[in-house]
Amino acid sequence: MRAAICGYSVAANQDHVIRITKALLPIILLLTRVAGQSPAPEEGIPVTDPLVIAKCGPCHAKDDRGNLERISWMRTTPEGWQEALRKTVLDGRLTIAPAEARAVVKSLSGSHGLAPEEAQPVAYYAERRIQEEGIDDDNPLTSCTKCHPAARPLSWRRSPKEWEQFVETHAKEYKFDLNPRTITALSKTTSLHTPEWTGWSARTARPDLSGRWLVTAHLHGGGKYTGELQVERGSAPDEFSTRIKLKSTKNGFEVVRTGQTVIFGGYQWRGRSRGVNPPNSPEDASNEARESLWFSPDLTRAEGRWFWGQYQEFGFNVELRRPSTGATLLAIDSQSLKIGSKSNAIRLIGDNFAAQVSPADLSFGPGVTVRRIVSGNATEIVVEVDVAANATPRKNDVSLHGSVLKGRLAIYDRVDYLKVTPESSLAAFGNANYQRGFGIFEAIGFQRGPDGKAHTADDLDLGPIDATWSMEVFYAVDSSGNDKIGKVSTAGLFTPAADNPGVNYDIWVIATAVKEFSKDARPLVGKGYVVVTVPEYTFNGRRYIRDLDRWIEEGTW
């Protein structure tokens, strides 16, 4: 199941995947080129928190420089410290009260955490995204990705000696062949001391995230939302309460959510919220969600995901920004316009729009002309635009009084193919002990780019296309048995069957375009691959259960 868990296809947001993949690429390439070198000794990072010293010091000896054995030679995310602490407790090596454990994780996430630049490439792990990591068999991290995503080791920073000790212990405990290239590669690319950490750790200011934030969000399967978030200070300087009001750009549906959050290390938001009204369905935007956001080093913007579900299959992609003194464009309701079309109504949604807006204040990029302003207020402007018959297919920026949405409007002349997102994914049968894992899909239209080929990087993303949904089971002669595996709704939600058949099934989730056709007049079709898996299985007399991103033996941690 290695790559089935770790190497599945893309996150819901195409731009997010491209950004993450580009950020990870240097690390992945460097890991494939590193030659063997001996690890060198390195200065530790002292631990000064009295609670951490009290709870960890009995086993992690303190030296005269204030370093705690092993701990001072590693840094990681809040999730990394939480896992390390949990393992220590489950192994019987530590007794600690829950409040103390939380305090220790919070402390170490700050004093021995990651700089924002280090955390961002692996933020998808905390955000529980299905992420394509591209770790092939030549990569030194292959031995890691047999059991979990590469993001897990890449979320840590250690000295070379500490990497060597950790990998050797890990290989012995989990019974895999030790690859010396792994130690060398990790020592070079995820080292303890970095310029980014030196710069970040020198900043001591606590974050004040209280106040008003503007929100843009995309609910996979549910479309775009905009709104505002109010953050109020909590009982501790790094704890806050939240209230967010979101409005769908598609149908005006509103959802209000309230919650709590903790800021780790000065920029890592880890929260929990729920809708003020109870949810009506598994995909309802009011479901209780965990939240993971990454704040930029200047703390003026944030991005991340709020997620829920058996394997966190549902979620909002979220962006926050501070209001400005001028107009802020947050979203437009159309993602694409056809070349030669006229009198297209477009809604611009944002904040602090001027009372009077003229066509000259707006730009929709080359080939698009504002015909007239239909209506306007402080948060919404409706315009009519024409697209020239000789416009070039491309992604245009949209701007209003200096506020720019980059590349948000695709100008196109035809839809060449559909892509179902996610392209490959999991779902899970449930049973008495485990809830079902669903699949939620979108059909995205694309036009071939200048290279003339489909499925290449220059293709034009046209946004969601209206489609009908169906499913096809692999190896099945006909569809008569489909109900025993599951159903796909008209909204693209795959629901596994209520009865667990005890085996995995591979299926296609199929989108058939309502209004887009191929050259031979057949509706365009896109397919997403889904493995509908069992929640637990027995192998060689031992039972395994799915725990988030991996299988674990039942009864172990």
Partner 1 sequence: MALAHHGLAVFDRTTPITLIGTVTEFHFTNPHCIIDFDVKAGNGRLQKWQGELTSPLHLKGWTATSLEAGNQVKITGYRAKSGAYYVWITRLVSSNGKEIRTNGDNLIPETP
* One of 296, 335, 468, 504 touching partner 1 (CB under 8 A): 504
Question: How far apart are the C-alpha atoms of 178 and 199, rounded to whole Å?
Answer: 34
Question: How far apart are the C-alpha atoms of 292 and 78, rounded to whole Å?
Answer: 11
Question: How far apart are the C-alpha atoms of 279 and 78, rounded to whole Å?
Answer: 29
Q: Does 336 bind partner 1 (CB under 8 A)?
A: no
Residue span 94-133 as binding mask against partner 1, x where in contact by CB under 8 A, dash where not: --------------------------------------x-
Q: Does 319 bind partner 1 (CB under 8 A)?
A: no
Residue span 132-171 as binding mask against partner 1, x where in contact by CB under 8 A, dash where not: x-xxxx----------------------------------
Shortest Cβ distance from residue 526 to partner 1 (Å)? 9
Shortest Cβ distance from residue 12 to partner 1 (Å)? 15
Question: How far apart are the C-alpha atoms of 101 and 89, rounded to whole Å?
Answer: 10
List, in order, residues 6 or more apart from 9 with CB less than 8 Å away: 130, 132, 422, 423, 424, 425, 529
Residue recorded with tokens 């750009």? 249
3-state SS, residue 444: strand
According to DSSP, the residues that pair with 212 across neighbouring strands are 230
Residue span 371-410 as binding mask against partner 1, x where in contact by CB under 8 A, dash where not: ----------------------------------------
* HSE-CB of 209 using CA atoms within 13 angstroms: 34
Q: Does 7 bind partner 1 (CB under 8 A)?
A: yes
Q: Does 3 bind partner 1 (CB under 8 A)?
A: yes
Query: Which of 146, 136, 218 has the alpha carbon at shortest distance from 176?
Result: 146
- Total residues at interface with partner 1 (CB under 8 A): 28
Question: How far apart are the C-alpha atoms of 155 and 173, rounded to whole Å?
Answer: 20
Nearer to partner 1, 104 or 471 (CB): 471
Stretch that binds partner 1, among 2-10, 83-91, 241-249, 287-295 (CB under 8 A): 2-10
Question: How far apart are the C-alpha atoms of 38 and 222, rounded to whole Å?
Answer: 52
What are 287's two structure tokens?
């479901």
Nearer to partner 1, 2 or 342 (CB): 2
Shortest Cβ distance from residue 515 to partner 1 (Å)? 21
Asked whether 97 and 134 are in contact (CB, 8 A), the reply is no
What are 434's two structure tokens?
């485990």
Shortest Cβ distance from residue 539 to partner 1 (Å)? 11
The percent of the chain in helix, strand and coil, each rounded to the nearest 5, is: 20, 40, 40
* One of 379, 487, 506, 550 touching partner 1 (CB under 8 A): 506
Q: Does 1 bind partner 1 (CB under 8 A)?
A: yes
Q: Does 520 bind partner 1 (CB under 8 A)?
A: no
Angle at 496 between CA 247 and CA 551, to 5 degrees: 100
3-state SS, residue 469: strand
Shortest Cβ distance from residue 120 to partner 1 (Å)? 24
Q: Does 531 bind partner 1 (CB under 8 A)?
A: yes
Q: Is the dihedral of CA 111, 116, 119, 124 positive or negative?
A: positive
Phi then psi for 119, rounded to 5 degrees?
-80, -30
Q: How far apart are the first and last CA of the chain?
A: 19
Shortest Cβ distance from residue 424 to partner 1 (Å)? 5
Nearer to partner 1, 9 or 191 (CB): 9
* Pairing between β-strand 523-533 and β-strand 424-428 as defined by DSSP bridges: parallel
Residue span 421-450 as binding mask against partner 1, x where in contact by CB under 8 A, dash where not: --xx--------------------------
Nearer to partner 1, 10 or 349 (CB): 10
Nearer to partner 1, 7 or 304 (CB): 7
Shortest Cβ distance from residue 146 to partner 1 (Å)? 10
Shortest Cβ distance from residue 500 to partner 1 (Å)? 16
Asked whether 351 and 216 are in contact (CB, 8 A), the reply is no
Residue span 448-477 as binding mask against partner 1, x where in contact by CB under 8 A, dash where not: -----xxxx-----------------xxxx
Shortest Cβ distance from residue 489 to partner 1 (Å)? 23
Nearer to partner 1, 474 or 557 (CB): 474
**Where on the chain is the footprint of partner 1 (CB under 8 A)?**
1-4, 7-9, 132, 134-137, 423-424, 453-456, 474-477, 504, 506, 527, 529, 531, 533
